[in-house]
Structure 1
Amino acid sequence: MLANPPLHTNGAEAQPDISVNRLILIGLLTRLVTDTAVQLFFPFLPVIAEGLRTTSVTAGRLVSLRSAMGLLSPAFGYQAYLRGYRTVMRFGLLLASVGYLIVGLSSSVWLAAVGMVLGGLGTFAFVPILQAYLSAKLPFHRRARGLGTLEYAWALAGIIGLYLTGLLIDALGWRAPFFVLSGLLLVAFVAYGRLPAARQAKAAETAKTPFSWRSVVAFFELGQNKRSAWMALFVVALNMMAAMNVFISYGTWLNREYGLDAVALGTVALILGVADLSGSVLMSLVGDKFGLRRSVIAGTALACLGYGLLPVLNQGILLAVVGLIVARFAFEFTVVGHIALVSEQAPDYRGKMMTLAAAAALLGSSTAGFIGPWVYDQFQVLGLSLISASIMGVSIVLLRFFVRNRAE
């Protein structure tokens, strides 16, 4: 069980204290909603594409467009320094609510694209700022455990969110999940107004300076450990690209080759959610004990193996799902380790690092959203496997020789 220290605030925004444990629970529930919204395109891509009267490749590019909005995460990180974490988190929740409502109302790809842009901006403003909020409150030796607990939401989104989404689509059609998610995000927007502010930035970081090339360069300054910090961010992008290359296409793969419908795809998503949860829990338990970098390298190696085995296991639905389980377990184990590893690469710039990590991850997933469905259309599972396994091989080399466990 996590310790239960109070969160103290400063400034005019101060609210009653709230324990870290309670904050993690609130964040976990909110992330369950946002992560369900992010993941629902993976298993249900062909269903949503049919509803929008387009192809899976085009729908995948809508997902890529949403992911590209994550490149603006550093700007939201800067605003969090200026205005406080709570303000930016609430803004993100409101944007996401409006965006997914528009997607649910869409009758064309172009209107859906507008909704995806707003949904992406909102989601990727909220998530890294929540991580930075918690990172500032947790000591380094407990950060993998604390942030790992928050990351259970990604797994629970598969176990609960996507399974229920499959049932909802089967009963009411593809639009229904978007309306439900929009309503829940609006509720969260209201609820987060009661959270305490927790502004952590130093005065030097928050000072307003005129826009110039020098100010842009200064924004990307990460201190004395900058080489390791930037390599850690690059590895985050590679890990996400390799994973999303496979996961954005698995719904189309299983639907096309094994005939799985929405309910069956939701069941597969539930199984993969259990794999995600197992990976998150294991990293939370062993990451601090065995060292974050060492644990991340081990997870990356297992992911490389999992992606590499997919064509070999594509001999039947059971073996295909087993291959996906291995890959998803390793992916989530590695993601939780990356979050904690990145958070300590430049402690004086933690909020900036977390938003840069979000931008890096979304650059990777945006690239994968653009190429993954096309690769499957052209080269099937073998193409997905070769690309993802190769990327993981590069990541292992970078982690081994260029990334430190933490700033000295």
Structure 2
Amino acid sequence: MTTLTAHDARALTWPQLLTLVWGRWLVSLTFRMIYPLLGFLAAGFAVDLTTASLLITVQVAASLFSPLGGIISDSIGDRATMIGGGIIFTLGAAICAMSAAFVPFLFGYAVIGLAIAVGMPALQSYVSARSHYERRARMLGVLELSWALSALLGVPLITWSVERWGIAPIFAGLTIAGGVMLISYIMLPNDDQTPSRQLHQSASANHLWHLFQQPSILTALGFVFIQLAAVELIFVSYAGWLNSAFNATTAELGFVFGLLGVVELIGSLSATLFTDRIGKRRAVLGGFLLVGVWLLLLPQSGSWPIFLALLLAFDLCFEFAIVSTFPLISGLSAQRRGALLAMMTAGIGGGRIVGSLAGPWISATAGYALTSTIAGILALIGFGIGLLFIKEGNA
């Protein structure tokens, strides 16, 4: 069987990598499909839109449990944690499929969020452990393509299907898909139990505390938190901005969402192809520097085409930068990689929560232009922190 590299017997084969991409695509689809379905779910469960938006809140909040997944991953292994995450995902999808009221549906969706928080860092750690650092951005980049592909290839099909058959059959299908994902994880090779890993498995909680005591890792996690808080200010505001400034219709907003999906795919693909060549630290810092620049320029756009071009440029650079961040962070520690990537996921979730709560409030009280300006300043502050303190690893 052909492997991705002939220099390491542990390297992932293409079928194994595609198995992991499939799992990542499935959970990304389940995460992203809720956004366009909020109105449908609010009407179907007879709740208001604010109540229905709790689905997004519990999903994002679940990411704060990712350090728990990191502890588990470093204790029992990445593959075993992925299998556990697959079991939890399948259970959550089944609860949603059987729910006739909003509260049990919300509970089931929270269970899915927990599965993602536990399983995804382990999946990234599994790929990282089976790829050389010099080629890791390529491997993780292929994995992260599934995020953009879920919007382009999955969400339109889901919304079309929900309109015809309702939400319960969709989650019944996701339950079956979760079972397939679980079986595919069981068939993957188990983690290699190296002496260093066996030595550290008994004290993963202490290792997590040890990570927090390292200034370089704390700086990297703070960098991720600041950048995600900055960009989320825009992601939760751009639809209202387009509507108020340019009288965008629902169809036009849908068109913009589709363009953003294409741009995300291009950004992920660019990180896959070029981050290893550019250098991971250089790619991350350069990408987020441009994010800050585009956000500062966004309020200066006086026409729809210029605004759209700047918005797409911002999203392209962000996607390139965030995909490049995963291999950069993964290289900071080999023995504690699972916990480290889990903490990064928690940092992403924490930043998104802050941005999603602050964005609407700032926009309503001070305007969208100030929201973008604050986001740009935050992104540049994060860039400065990264430039001074983030170092290139090689683990």
TM bracket (short chain):
0.7 to 0.9
Alpha carbons 2:69, 2:339 under 8 Å: kept: no
Aligned to 2:30: 37
- Listed as ranges, the gaps of 5+ residues in structure 2 are none
User: Which of the residues 191, 199, 202 maps onto 1:204?
Assistant: 199
Equivalent positions of 1:119-158 (< 5 A) are 119-158=112-151
Of 319, 324, 329 in structure 2, the residue corresponding to residue 342 of structure 1 is 329
Other-structure match for 1:294: 282
Question: Are residues 307 and 41 of structure 1, via their aligned partners in 2, closer, same or farther at CA, if it must alter by over 3 Å?
Answer: farther
Give the share of equivalent positions with the same residue, in percent. 26
Render the CA deviation track for 1:324-349: whole Å, top value 9, x for unaligned: 32222111101111101101112332
Residue identity in the other structure for 1:343: S
Whichever residue aligns with residue 246 of structure 1, its letter is I
Aligned AA for 1:260? T
Match for residue 84 of structure 1? 77
> Mean Cα displacement is larger for which, 306-315 or 341-350?
306-315
Instruction: Give the C-alpha shift of residue 315 in structure 1.
Output: 4.7
Q: Which residue is equivalent to 2:263?
A: 275
Match of 2:157 in 1: 164
- Show the counterpart of 1:259: 249
TM-score normalised by the chain length of structure 1 = 0.83
Deviates more, 1:345-354 or 1:198-207: 198-207
Give distance in 2, aligned partners of 1:153 and 1:326: 20
Structure 1 residues 254 and 192 mapped into 2: Cα distance closer, same or farther (>3 Å)? farther
Q: Could you tell me whether the CA contact under 8 Å between 1:244 and 1:372 is conserved in 2?
A: yes
In structure 1, the partner of 2:235 is 247
| More displaced stretch, 39-48 vs 294-303 | 39-48
Q: Is the 8 A contact 1:163 1:266 kept in 2?
A: no
Q: Could you say which residue in structure 1 is the equivalent of 2:176? A: 183
Question: Which deviations, in whole Å up to 9, do the C-alpha atoms of 1:195-231 show, x marking residues without a partner?
Answer: 22114561221125xxxxxx8554321399x222221
Q: Deviations over 1:125-163 (max 9, x none)?
A: 111101000101111111111111111111111211123
2: CA distance, partners of 1:315 / 1:29: 40
Residues 183 and 375 of structure 1: is their aligned pair in 2 closer, same or farther, counting only changes over 3 Å?
Answer: farther
The C-alpha deviation readout for 1:380-401, integer Å capped at 9, x for no partner, is 6335423422321221111111
Using the TM superposition, give the Cα deviation of residue 179 of structure 1 relative to its aligned residue in structure 2, in angstroms: 4.1
Mean Cα deviation higher: 323-332 or 126-135: 323-332
SS in 2 for 1:198: coil
How far is the alpha carbon of 1:57 from its aligned partner? 4.4
CA distance in 2, matches of 1:350, 1:30: 20
Compute the TM-score of the two structures, normalised by the length of structure 2: 0.85
From the superposition, tell whether residues 34 and 393 of structure 1 become closer, same or farther in structure 2 (CA, over 3 Å).
same
CA distance, structure 2, for counterparts of residue 340 and residue 319 of structure 1: 33
Structure 1 Cα separation of the partners of residues 50 and 7 of structure 2: 48
Q: Distance between the aligned counterparts of 1:406 and 1:32, measured in 2? A: 28
Deviation at 1:238, TM superposition (A): 2.1
Report the counterpart of residue 70 of structure 1 in structure 2.
63
Look up the SS of the partner of 2:4 in the other structure: coil
Q: Please list the CA deviations of residues 98-134 of structure 1 after superposition, one character each: whole Å capped at 9, or x if unmatched.
A: 3244445555553343123201100121111010001
CA–CA separation in structure 2 for the residues paired with 1:120 and 1:292? 29
